């Protein structure tokens, strides 16, 4: 029986990258996954610039860009009020300096990378860095001795039961985490109201950079992805999901037509759907404890949240860097496990992280925008700097609280260059707002 | 469209499996499971898709599978019902209501009021509490549901405990006797008394500036100074976190406002250079607080004033919180940085240390003084500080400058250190520097509101601040210490506060709160 420094359960965004970074630092790592690669997992796959920057820091960006279209500007349209912007490089640098102590590898582009593409690149890189990768390997049991997790038992591809031991077990096994369930870890900060999301892959059109539309309680997004296809996604409040799933293809098109008639028309008249429609009803957010004797969690296993800001993969990368830096210090003997894990915990549970968690969860309720929120979008038009900062806030690059600060909001409004009179949604606002409360699919 | 596209959607398949499980139709379960997409299988790895057929007979395993599948099939909010009032009260922020819609000004504030009522009902509304007796280091209060509490009082702004000081009370009584309650006019007309002149002189002496103007409130002083001086074509550089009266004064005065990063003098220098590169004709006012009232820190005023002079900009410093309560002889942050008499414009408020309403603006320029009086609005068109208030502030200024002032400040700082040490020792995060304001960072609003609710009955009175006082997601308790606080009281309060935070974290089941950064 071999003793590894770390066993990582789950070999996707959080697991493969943690294994990669630990192996790069010379540690003995085993990473296992129940699935095989290339394969998809329920997830759209928008990667914000800091997500891309992580890939660049790890030397994997070129491989991704060789097969994936990338852009720097996004268009965000709320009730007809359009904003276009990019995450500012300076804020990206600040983000990395603040969180990881160095800002190397920052790129300003984003991309939408199919998981079958991205995850395979990550797994390949982990193996190349020296991590031992076993796919089709299902962990069935955690080995616990004296209250400490010391290894795993699982079924390998040939059906054989295998036991492996390590100094630490990393749970990178997703929102339904086996590790968390086995250890009976509680969920914290649960926010049950969330979105249902349905999407598919379409060929036949190219709209350039990604677009994100929102009207009332529904939203849709289109992003160019691999294989000359577009990922087209619709989402809405989970309260409406039962009715939606009564006729998924019909309601998918209905939602597109409602939120963005232009996009609905492109999809209907030019698009060819290349795959089935995928979807999920439950993306309720929660946190779990981060670490304990012999184990640590990363990615969705530790903190899952709604897809509405498309941040999960990027956060999985962030976790991988944070946790591998912490584990490295401990494995080298530069810090005790408690010190190392406390440092990881402080970053993951910082005030900014809490504010962003609330931001995502509140957004995921998909309440119709209030008058002042829409007014804010109007005020942002013509103020590129603040538009970019808003996009950076949404993407968790800049602190939410600095943007949503009384004096900032007042000032934005005062300096607005455009009046709301030019936007139809303000015409009979109260009535429009009321009509948005009606379930479109009922 | 290919035939593959006619495949049924995963949700529908899970519905079929669940129905089959209900009839213990294992064959249908197993057959349908093979149709579920690779995506869903890879996501829901906790469900033994390949083994559904072999479940036969094992009831507990079947029950687990049904539970796991139901979780995917049913939206979570249907599984975990919550108290809607409490959810509404805790999840929303004042920000959510700050600009209501509609053309009827009377009716459109309804949503906001509904939220306030939800917060009242759930006792998470920290505002509008009233005192039942004179506030001291202990106070008795009633909340707006009529519930009463008594506790160690970190909720009053009376840094040197002047409210109970015999000489202060005596001064008030004497002024009352001599002049009556008296608020009979604008200071420009006949609102002032002889003691107003005395007070202006005493304050000038305290901050080292010759020309002082009194205002009826601190807010009026800050707002009036900014709108009095700055014209539409001028510029204002203002610390992001400067007091609201200055922020709103800036908004009212000009559109050319830059909110610079908190305390960042280099940012000020950069902005000044930029402005002066294109505008050499108009004025620039740089605005900052001395001691910041929600972060408890202060700027490097020496450099800031120098940078201003280098760019022909004027500096205004608000010393509302530090003057009287800290620094050599009570001279505040100015005295601590050896800047008495050398800052362009100093303004302050009496409500923190001087035991009264009111405020002042001071400078070396008699012209500036006369100008602000005339054009500041809040001076000319507001009634003057009453004689009682004026006398109280004058007496407070006298004590602040006396040896007794030093004793009171020493006591105050003993209590401050006791409180900070005890809170920090318990793993909580005190922001800023030792000063009469001890901001205890909580962060998450829900946690802060719940802790505040619990604290009410536990013998500590503390004010919880959140948006719009702080940015969203950085709420905190602002503990205001008094010279009258005994160190044991401070330590006791810290213990109680820690308990309330821990209990609310457990109540909310939250992993956040009071974390650094
Ligand atoms: C509808 C939807 C849309 C989304 N859209 C986006 C988006 O646009 N952008 C974005 O950044 N994020 C998005 N996300 C979030 C993102 O998918 C997740 O945050 C991300 O997948 C988390 O990565 P992970 O590595 O932690 O877990 P996962 O990707 O879930 O990987 C967990 C792995 O662990 C393996 N595993 C589990 N149990 C075991 C076991 N017992 N033995 C062996 N292996 C096991 C699984 O097979 C799996 O491969 C979306 C999520 C959803 C649901």
- When the pLDDT of each residue in chain B is averaged and rounded to a whole number, the result is 92
Tokens of A211: 């677009």
Mutate to test the pocket of ligand 1, among B9, B45, B46 (most ligand atoms within 8 A of CB): B45
**Hey, of B2, B12, B43, B470, which one would you mutate to test binding to chain A, going by the most A CBs within 10 A of its CB?**
B43
Instruction: Give residue B458's Cα distance to chain centre.
Output: 22
Question: Which DSSP helix (H) or strand (E) runs through B504?
Answer: helix B487-508
**Hey, of A283, A367, A407, A420, which one would you mutate to test binding to chain B, going by the most B CBs within 10 A of its CB?**
A407
Q: What confidence tier does B319 reach under pLDDT thresholds 50, 70, 90?
A: very high
Listed residue (A153, A154, A149, A185) closest to A169, CA to CA: A149
B190 vs chain A: nearest CA distance in angstroms?
Answer: 37
CA distances from A42 to B39, B91, B127 (A): 5, 28, 46
Listed residue (A177, A60, A307, A287) closest to B505, CA to CA: A287
Residues of A in contact with B99 (CB under 8 A): 370-372, 375, 413
Question: Helix, strand, or coil here: B46?
Answer: coil
**Among A55-59, B122-126, B322-326, where is mean pLDDT lowest?**
B122-126
Across the interface, do A242 and B4 touch by the CB < 8 Å criterion? Answer: no
Mutate to test the pocket of ligand 1, among A31, A173, A280, A286 (most ligand atoms within 8 A of CB): A173
- Specify burial of residue B499 (Cβ count, 10 A radius: 0-12, 13-18, 19+): middle
A213 vs chain B: nearest CA distance in angstroms?
Answer: 21
Q: What is the spatial distance between Cα A275 and Cα A331, in angstroms, rounded to a whole number?
A: 45
Whether A9 lines ligand 1, by a CB cut-off of 6 Å, is yes
Q: What is the spatial distance between Cα B82 and Cα B77, in angstroms, rounded to a whole number?
A: 8
Q: What confidence tier does B104 reach under pLDDT thresholds 50, 70, 90?
A: confident
Q: What is the spatial distance between Cα B237 and Cα B259, in angstroms, rounded to a whole number?
A: 6
Question: Helix, strand, or coil here: A177?
Answer: coil
Beta strands in A289-368 (DSSP E): 291-292, 295-297, 303-304
Residues of B in contact with A193 (CB under 8 A): 76-77
B159-205 pLDDT tens trace: 999 999 999 999 999 999 999 998 889 999 999 999 999 999 999 99
Tell whether the model's pLDDT for residue B425 goes beyond 50. yes
Q: What is the spatial distance between Cα B287 and Cα B289, in angstroms, rounded to a whole number?
A: 7
Listed residue (B206, B196, B211, B215) closest to B366, CA to CA: B211
Residues 6+ apart with CB under 8 A from B148: B132, B140, B141, B142
CA distances from A169 to A294, A296, A301 (A): 6, 7, 13
Q: Please check whether residue A319 is in contact with residue A299, taking contact to mean a CB–CB distance below 8 angstroms.
A: yes
B15-37 pLDDT tens trace: 999 999 999 899 999 999 999 99
Torsion angle defined by CA atoms of residues A211, A214, A220 and A225, in that order, rounded to the nearest 10 degrees: 20
B261 backbone dihedrals φ, ψ, rounded to 5°? -55, 135
By CA distance, what is B48's nearest residue in A?
A138
DSSP for residue B79: H
Cβ-count burial B413-435 (b if 16+ within 10 Å, e if not)? bbbbebbbbbbeeeebbbbbebb
The residue whose CA is least distant from atom 41 of ligand 1 is: A139
pLDDT the model gives residue A2: 65
ipTM of the complex: 0.93
**What stretches in chain A show pLDDT beneath 70?**
1-2
Q: Please check whether residue A156 is in contact with residue A162, taking contact to mean a CB–CB distance below 8 angstroms.
A: yes
Residues of A in contact with B507 (CB under 8 A): none
Neighbours of A428 (CB within 10 A): 11
Across the interface, do B40 and A400 touch by the CB < 8 Å criterion? Answer: no
pLDDT the model gives residue A54: 98
Q: Count of H helices and E strands in chain A?
A: 17, 22
Q: Are strands B429-430 and B437-443 parallel, antiparallel or unpaired?
A: antiparallel
Residues of B in contact with A190 (CB under 8 A): 76, 80, 509
Secondary structure percentages of chain A, helix, strand, coil, to 5 = 45, 25, 35
- If you write DSSP's letter for every residue of B256-314 in order, what string do you get? -EEEE-TT-HHHHHHHHHHHHHH-SSS-EEEEEESS-TTT-----HHHHHHHHHHTT-E
Whether A32 lines ligand 1, by a CB cut-off of 6 Å, is yes
Mean pLDDT calculated for residue range B393-413: 98
Query: Dmax over Cα atoms in chain B, in whole Å?
Result: 99
By CA distance, what is A343's nearest residue in B?
B516
Across the interface, do A281 and B11 touch by the CB < 8 Å criterion? Answer: yes
Q: Please check whether residue B377 is in contact with residue B213, taking contact to mean a CB–CB distance below 8 angstroms.
A: no
- Specify burial of residue A225 (Cβ count, 10 A radius: 0-12, 13-18, 19+): buried
Across the interface, do A39 and B42 touch by the CB < 8 Å criterion? Answer: yes
pLDDT the model gives residue B144: 86
Across the interface, do B473 and A400 touch by the CB < 8 Å criterion? Answer: yes
Q: Please check whether residue B160 is in contact with residue B395, taking contact to mean a CB–CB distance below 8 angstroms.
A: no
Cα A332 to averaged position of ligand 1 atoms, centre (Å)? 30
Listed residue (A188, A307, A325) closest to B513, CA to CA: A188
Q: What is the spatial distance between Cα B339 and Cα B331, in angstroms, rounded to a whole number?
A: 10
Across the interface, do A273 and B1 touch by the CB < 8 Å criterion? Answer: yes
Whether B45 lines ligand 1, by a CB cut-off of 6 Å, is yes
Of B10, B474, B511, the CB nearest to A351: B474
Mean pLDDT calculated for residue range B4-24: 84
Residue with tokens 């969860």: A361
Q: What is the spatial distance between Cα A148 and Cα A292, in angstroms, rounded to a whole number?
A: 8
Whether A10 lines ligand 1, by a CB cut-off of 6 Å, is yes
Cα A64 to averaged position of ligand 1 atoms, centre (Å)? 18
pLDDT the model gives residue B3: 40
pLDDT the model gives residue B219: 97
**Hey, of B511, B512, B513, B516, which one would you mutate to test binding to chain A, going by the most A CBs within 10 A of its CB?**
B511
Q: Residue A220: beta bridge partners?
A: A213, A234
Q: What confidence tier does B71 reach under pLDDT thresholds 50, 70, 90?
A: confident
pLDDT the model gives residue B42: 95
- Specify burial of residue A130 (Cβ count, 10 A radius: 0-12, 13-18, 19+): middle
Q: Please, what sign has the CA dihedral across residues A172, A174, A175, A176?
A: negative
Q: Kindly report the pTM of this predicted structure.
A: 0.91
Q: Residue A233: beta bridge partners?
A: A199, A221
The reply to whether omega before B19 is within 30° of 0 (cis) is no
A217 backbone dihedrals φ, ψ, rounded to 5°? -100, 10
Q: What is the spatial distance between Cα A429 and Cα A423, in angstroms, rounded to a whole number?
A: 11
Q: What is the spatial distance between Cα B36 and Cα A434, in angstroms, rounded to a whole number?
A: 38
CA distances from B263 to A220, B17, B303, B332, B463 (A): 42, 61, 11, 17, 25
The reply to whether omega before B7 is within 30° of 0 (cis) is no
- Specify burial of residue A93 (Cβ count, 10 A radius: 0-12, 13-18, 19+): middle
pLDDT the model gives residue B340: 97
By CA distance, what is A38's nearest residue in B?
B38
Tell whether the model's pLDDT for residue B515 goes beyond 60. no
Q: What confidence tier does B301 reach under pLDDT thresholds 50, 70, 90?
A: very high
Neighbours of B169 (CB within 10 A): 16
By CA distance, what is A37's nearest residue in B?
B42
Q: What is the spatial distance between Cα B92 and Cα B114, in angstroms, rounded to a whole number?
A: 11
Listed residue (B386, B243, B229) closest to B315, CA to CA: B229
| Secondary structure of B190-208 as H, E, C letters | CCCCHHHHHHHHHHHHHHC
Cα B82 to averaged position of ligand 1 atoms, centre (Å)? 28
């Amino acid at each position: 029986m071999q003793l590894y420094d770390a066993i990582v359960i789950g070999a996707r965004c959080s697991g493969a990258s943690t294994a990669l970074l630990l192996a790069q630092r010379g540690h003995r790592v085993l990473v296992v996954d129940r699935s095989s690669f290339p394969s998809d997992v329920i997830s759209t796959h928008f990667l914000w610039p800091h997500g891309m920057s992580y890939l660049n820091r790890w030397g994997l960006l070129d491989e991704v860009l060789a097969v994936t279209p990338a852009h720097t500007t996004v268009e965000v349209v709320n009730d007809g009020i359009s904003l276009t912007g990019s995450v500012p490089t300076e804020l990206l640098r600040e983000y990395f300096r603040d969180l990881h102590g160095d800002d190397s590898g920052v790129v300003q582009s984003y991309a939408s990378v199919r998981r079958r593409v991205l995850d395979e690149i990550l797994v390949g890189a982990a193996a190349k860095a020296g991590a031992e990768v076993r796919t089709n390997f299902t962990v069935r049991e955690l080995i616990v001795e004296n209250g400490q997790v010391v290894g795993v038992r699982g079924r390998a591809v040939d059906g054989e039961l295998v036991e492996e031991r390590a100094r630490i077990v990393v749970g990178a096994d997703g929102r339904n985490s086996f590790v968390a369930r086995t250890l009976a870890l509680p969920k914290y900060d649960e926010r049950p109201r969330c979105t249902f999301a349905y999407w598919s892959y379409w060929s036949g059109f190219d709209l350039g950079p990604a677009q994100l539309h929102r009207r009332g309680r529904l939203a849709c997004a289109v992003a160019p992805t691999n294989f000359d296809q577009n990922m087209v996604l619709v989402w809405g409040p989970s309260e409406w999901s039962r009715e939606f799933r009564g006729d998924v293809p019909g309601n998918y098109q209905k939602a597109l037509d409602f939120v963005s008639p232009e996009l609905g028309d492109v999809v209907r008249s030019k698009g060819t759907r290349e795959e089935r429609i995928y979807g999920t009803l439950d993306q309720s957010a929660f946190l779990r404890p981060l670490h304990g004797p012999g184990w640590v969690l990363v990615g969705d296993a530790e903190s899952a949240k709604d897809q509405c800001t498309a941040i999960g993969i990027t956060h999985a990368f962030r976790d991988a860097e944070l946790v591998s830096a912490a584990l490295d210090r401990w494995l080298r003997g530069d810090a005790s496990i408690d010190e190392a894990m406390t440092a990881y915990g402080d970053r993951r549970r910082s005030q900014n992280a809490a504010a962003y968690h609330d931001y995502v969860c509140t957004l995921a309720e998909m309440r119709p925008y209030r008058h002042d929120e829409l007014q804010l979008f109007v005020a942002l038009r013509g103020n590129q700097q603040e538009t970019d900062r808003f996009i950076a806030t949404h993407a968790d690059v800049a602190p939410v609280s600095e943007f949503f600060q009384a004096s900032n909001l007042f000032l934005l409004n005062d300096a607005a260059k455009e009046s709301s009179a030019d936007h139809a949604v303000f015409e009979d606002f109260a009535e429009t707002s009321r009509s948005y409360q009606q379930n479109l699919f009922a | 469209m290919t035939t593959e596209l006619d495949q049924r959607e995963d949700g529908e398949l899970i519905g079929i499996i669940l129905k089959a499980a209900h009839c213990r139709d294992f064959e249908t379960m197993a057959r349908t499971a093979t149709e579920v997409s690779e995506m869903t299988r890879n996501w829901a790895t906790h469900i033994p898709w390949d083994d559904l057929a072999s479940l036969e007979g094992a009831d507990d395993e079947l029950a687990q599978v049904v539970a796991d599948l139901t979780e995917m099939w049913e939206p979570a909010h249907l599984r975990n019902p919550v108290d809607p009032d409490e959810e509404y009260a805790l999840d929303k922020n004042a920000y959510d209501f700050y600009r209501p819609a509609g053309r009827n000004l009377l009716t459109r504030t309804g949503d906001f009021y509904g939220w306030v009522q939800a917060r009242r009902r759930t006792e998470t509304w920290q505002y509008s509490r009233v005192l039942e007796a004179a506030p001291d280091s202990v106070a008795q209060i009633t909340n707006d549901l009529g519930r009463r509490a008594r506790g160690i009082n970190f909720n009053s702004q009376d840094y040197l405990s002047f409210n109970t000081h015999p000489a202060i009370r005596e001064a008030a009584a004497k002024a009352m006797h001599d002049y009556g309650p008296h608020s009979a006019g604008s200071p420009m007309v006949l609102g002032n008394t002889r003691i107003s002149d005395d007070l202006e002189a005493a304050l000038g002496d305290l901050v080292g500036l010759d020309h002082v103007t009194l205002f009826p409130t601190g807010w009026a002083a800050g707002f009036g100074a900014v709108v009095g001086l700055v014209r539409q074509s001028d510029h204002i550089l203002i610390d992001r976190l400067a007091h609201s009266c200055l922020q709103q004064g800036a908004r009212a005065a000009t559109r050319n406002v830059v909110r610079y990063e908190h305390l960042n003098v280099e940012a000020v220098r950069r902005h000044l250079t930029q402005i002066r590169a294109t505008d050499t004709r108009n004025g620039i006012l740089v605005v900052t607080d001395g001691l910041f009232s929600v972060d408890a820190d202060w700027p490097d005023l020496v450099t800031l004033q120098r940078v201003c002079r280098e760019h022909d900009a004027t500096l205004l410093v608000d010393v509302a919180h530090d003057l009287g309560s800290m620094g050599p002889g009570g001279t505040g942050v100015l005295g601590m940085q050896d800047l008495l008499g050398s800052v362009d414009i100093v303004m302050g408020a009496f409500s923190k240390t001087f035991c009264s309403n009111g405020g002042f603006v001071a400078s070396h320029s008699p012209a500036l003084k006369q100008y602000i009086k005339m054009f500041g609005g809040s001076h000319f068109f507001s009634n003057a500080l009453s004689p009682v208030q004026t006398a109280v502030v004058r007496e407070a200024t006298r004590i602040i400058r006396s040896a007794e002032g030093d004793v009171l400040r020493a006591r105050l700082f003993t209590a401050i250190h006791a409180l900070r040490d005890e809170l920090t020792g318990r793993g909580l995060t005190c922001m800023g520097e030792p000063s009469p304001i001890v901001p205890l960072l909580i962060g998450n609003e829900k946690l802060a509101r719940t802790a505040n609710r619990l604290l009410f009955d536990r013998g500590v009175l503390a004010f919880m601040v959140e948006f719009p006082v702080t940015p969203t997601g950085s709420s905190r308790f602002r503990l205001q210490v008094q010279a009258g606080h005994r160190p044991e009281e401070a330590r006791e309060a810290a213990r109680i506060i820690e308990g309330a935070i821990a209990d609310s974290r457990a109540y909310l089941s939250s992993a956040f709160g009071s974390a650094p950064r």
